Amino acid sequence: MDRVIEPELMDDDAQARAYSEASFAVPHERFVDLLVERFGFPSGRALDLGCGPADVTARLARRCPELAIDGVDGSAAMLRYGRERIAAAGLAARVTLTQALLPRDPAPHTHYDVVVSNSLLHHLHDPSVLWAAVGQLAAPGARVFIMDLMRPESAAAVARLVHEHARGEPELLRRDFEASLFAAFTPTEIEAQLAEAGLGTLRLDVVSDRHLTVSGRL
């Protein structure tokens, strides 16, 4: 099944609010669990690319108290919810959120010790934007941990996953999830992107019926 792109930015307020209020506790905790399994509890400066409403960012900050995290996202609406979440969690001293559209705008720093991203890749019309950002912003030896959706083989498989994982969710979120599955890349496509970007040392793992991770040290 061919990829069907979706809009890059989630800058509609209703969409951002629905996404921010959705219960992503299970996949987002799993993101942090898998990162900790892979790298322990890293310290230093971290970058979260496409941080959205900063739920993953906040969970990572709580679990890794020695990390200072910059979250960047192109959507002002998402960042509004993200800043509320970070302030409410008492994490504002260690977590800074900045509006930045990739690849146009710079990140707050360079030479990050840790670069993470959850569910940005499938939004990008040109996936090389993510891999170029990783290559440019990660310090030598940095830890990289990316998680995203995988595109299923057929529309019927998409429908099955939406039914299984988003049955009770609001219609807006179910439509978002469906569009994201159609927009996602296959493991084979991502392996080719990594080779093309000179990031072939990163390892791709399929970690659920719909998620994969790309991780390693640069």
List residues near ligand SAM by CB under 6 A.
8-10, 50-52, 55-56, 73-75, 78, 101-102, 118-120, 123-124
80-95 per-residue burial string, b: 16 or more CB within 10 A, e: under 16? bbbbebbeebebeebb
Q: Which is nearer to ligand SAM, 140 or 174 (CB)?
A: 174
The sign one gets for the Cα dihedral 127, 129, 132, 134 is: negative
> What three-state secondary structure class fits 126?
coil
Q: Which is nearer to ligand SAM, 87 or 200 (CB)?
A: 87
CA distances from 3 to 103, 114, 150, 167, 179 (A): 21, 30, 11, 23, 10
**Taking the CB of residue 130, how many other CB atoms lie within 10 A of it?**
26
Q: Which is nearer to ligand SAM, 107 or 139 (CB)?
A: 107
> What three-state secondary structure class fits 150?
strand
Q: Which is nearer to ligand SAM, 119 or 213 (CB)?
A: 119
Q: How far apart are CA 217 and CA 181, in angstroms?
A: 28
CB 66 to ligand SAM: min, Å: 21
Q: Which residue is nearest to ligand SAM (CB)?
A: 52
CB 149 to ligand SAM: min, Å: 9
CB 187 to ligand SAM: min, Å: 19
CB 195 to ligand SAM: min, Å: 22
